[in-house]
Amino acid sequence: MIQVDQELCVGCGLCISICPSDAISLLFNKAYIDHRKCTGCEICISTCPLAVIKKVIVTEVDGLKIKIQNHQKR
């Protein structure tokens, strides 16, 4: 799953213009990803100048939800 760190997003809109699936929109000046439209192509991850878009893996172990975030090195 692709997620935006809402606290760090500055609402520049770059990711919105680059998304081929029209899955990103601005909500209260923060990028919001519609996961029903997102295909997971990851183009937006490398596009964000602040690197605040991450690939997140959510898995469940014994009823416990675990979130693994991929921190990209630049």
Interaction site with ligand SF4 (CB under 6 A) = 2, 4, 9-15, 19, 21, 23-24, 31, 33, 38-44, 48, 50, 52-53
- Only one residue has tokens 């997971």, namely 40
Nearest approach, Cβ of residue 63 and ligand SF4 (Å) = 29
Residue closer to ligand SF4 by CB (options 37, 63) is 37
Residue closer to ligand SF4 by CB (options 64, 68) is 68
Residue 3: which of 64, 50, 47, 57 has the closest Cα?
57
| Contact assessment for residue 14 and residue 49, using Cβ atoms and an 8 Å cutoff | yes
Nearest approach, Cβ of residue 5 and ligand SF4 (Å) = 8
What is the Cα–Cα distance from 67 to 33, expressed in whole angstroms?
17
